[in-house]
Structure 1
Amino acid sequence: MDLSELQPGGHDDEPHGDGMRARLNWLRAGVLGANDGIVSTAGLVMGVAGATTDRTAIFIAGIAGLAAGALSMAAGEYVSVSTQRDSELALLAKERRELLEEPEEELEELAGIYVSKGLSDDLALEVAKQLTEHDALGAHAEAELGIDPNEVTSAWAAAFASMIAFTLGALLPLLTILLAAESLRVPVTVVAVGLALALTGWSSAKMSYGPRGRAVLRNVGGGLLAMTITYGIGSLIGTQV
């Protein structure tokens, strides 16, 4: 085997490099946030459109749904990431303390991890020593905890990213249904949302190396089902009120 194939950049579609995992996580979160914005807002405006043709009513409902959804996403992400961040910082503080108070035990523990991964005792100990000398906390945190001390997530950044992604996704069905002619409002929105969901489904599958066709069908099918149900509910309520 050509060893150059194993070097960073050997395959264009494989992520490498410092911080790449964090950037991919942010990108996935952005795609999922946009997808949530598309589906939830499309379902909302389609439901209202099923009940009334009043553009103002659709606009008010859509804006309210967009604002509520974006703020809910931001708050939920902030709470979730804050909890994760607090846990990671506590574990890192514990690891720092153990490295200061029990350096030999920590070195043996790190070597044992590499032995469990297939290295010989002598090689594992040598690797553990060199990594500890280079960056003790980084080596032990990644091997023992699965945490990169340089990539602890910011709760505020996660909250704003989720809010922006949701808002951008929500704007598509909202603007489409408001700008389209009344007679074409529903079909044009369905087509626009279907295409957008196909794109987000394909993007999420590409980033996770999953089957793209299945992801697209699942994403589009779920979104169309949501719109169909909410439009039916809106139509039923509209005829009764």
Structure 2
Amino acid sequence: MTSDPSSAQNEHGEPHHDDLGSRLNWLRAGVLGANDGVVSTAGLVVGVAGATSSSSALLTAGLAGLLAGSLSMAAGEYVSVSTQRDSERAALDLERRELRYTPDAELDELAGLYEQKGLSPELAREVAEALTAHDALAAHAETELGIDPEDLTNPWHAAGASFVAFTVGALLPLLAMVLPPASVRLWITVLAVLGALMLCGWISARLGRAPLRPAILRNVAGGAVAMAVTYVAGSLLGAAGG
């Protein structure tokens, strides 16, 4: 029976995936993007609701906020990841040149790094030589730079994920505000948003293996304060304009 090395299990039956850390980072980024969509759109529509009861005004403001926020998130993520990717490529190019022109010095450097990790000088040298013979660039990139040359982040994927996550999060407060009757839509929106923030806080804490209670309370408190401030501001502006 063959086994997939990318999904091997340890002696305790725990699955090990080579890209588990990358997957968790993507999932965490998605949760945070959705959280931003919930909070920013909720603050916007609740603030507008404080100024007017017009469903068309609420829908227009919510859609404008959704589009502006999702596009801003996508653009920001694209620029950020592109800059990171360019820096990683430059670092890899420098490492390739050093391996080409000063291989002995690079081997000594790699062995020294393994000694710093706790290996004996003899074992560190043996490991460095074996990894250099197998894939010198990968060994140096991982140990020195913390980069996998075969798994650089794609800025388009990051931008798309941010756009989708923010949009999904923003739809909740928008729909909660425009679909129910005017007499109850504010309270439905507040309850829906607080519930979504509790879920986002719980997921973020689980992914980061952090205590659940503080993470959930911080998330809910931040959203509640944002909605309260924007509602008061909208009410004051509505009263001044009326």
Taking structure 1 as the reference length, what is the TM-score of the superposition?
0.93
Residues 40-70 of structure 1: CA distance to partner in whole angstroms, max 9, x if unpaired? 0000000001111100000000000000000
Q: Where has structure 1 moved over 2 Å in runs of 4 or more?
A: 7-12
Against the structure 1 CA distance between its residues 8 and 69, is the aligned structure 2 distance closer, same or farther, given a 3 Å change threshold? farther
Against the structure 1 CA distance between its residues 172 and 11, is the aligned structure 2 distance closer, same or farther, given a 3 Å change threshold? farther
Q: Percent same amino acid among aligned pairs? A: 62
CA RMSD of aligned residues (A): 1.3
Distance in 1, Cα, partners of 2:95 & 2:79: 24
In the alignment, structure 1 residue 79 sits paired with structure 2 residue 79: yes
Give the superposition deviation at 1:180: 1.3
Q: Which residue of 2 aligns with 1:178?
A: 178
Q: Is the 8 A contact 1:66 1:170 kept in 2?
A: yes
Unaligned runs of 5+ in 1: 1-6
Against the structure 1 CA distance between its residues 77 and 8, is the aligned structure 2 distance closer, same or farther, given a 3 Å change threshold? farther
The AA in structure 2 aligned to 1:57 is A
Alignment of 1:68-217 (within 5 A): 68-217=68-217
The AA in structure 2 aligned to 1:209 is R
Against the structure 1 CA distance between its residues 8 and 50, is the aligned structure 2 distance closer, same or farther, given a 3 Å change threshold? farther
Against the structure 1 CA distance between its residues 146 and 197, is the aligned structure 2 distance closer, same or farther, given a 3 Å change threshold? same
Q: Which residue of 2 aligns with 1:4?
A: none
Q: Which residue of 2 aligns with 1:225?
A: 225
Q: Which residue of 2 aligns with 1:19?
A: 19
Distance in 1, Cα, partners of 2:116 & 2:162: 39
Give the superposition deviation at 1:104: 1.2
Against the structure 1 CA distance between its residues 8 and 175, is the aligned structure 2 distance closer, same or farther, given a 3 Å change threshold? farther
Give the superposition deviation at 1:231: 0.6
Unaligned runs of 5+ in 2: 1-8
Question: What number of residue pairs does the alignment pair up?
Answer: 233
Distance in 1, Cα, partners of 2:71 & 2:11: 39
The AA in structure 1 aligned to 2:130 is Q
Distance in 2, Cα, partners of 1:115 & 1:169: 47
Give the superposition deviation at 1:8: 4.1
Q: Is the 8 A contact 1:37 1:167 kept in 2?
A: yes
Q: Which residue of 1 aligns with 2:5?
A: none
The AA in structure 1 aligned to 2:146 is G
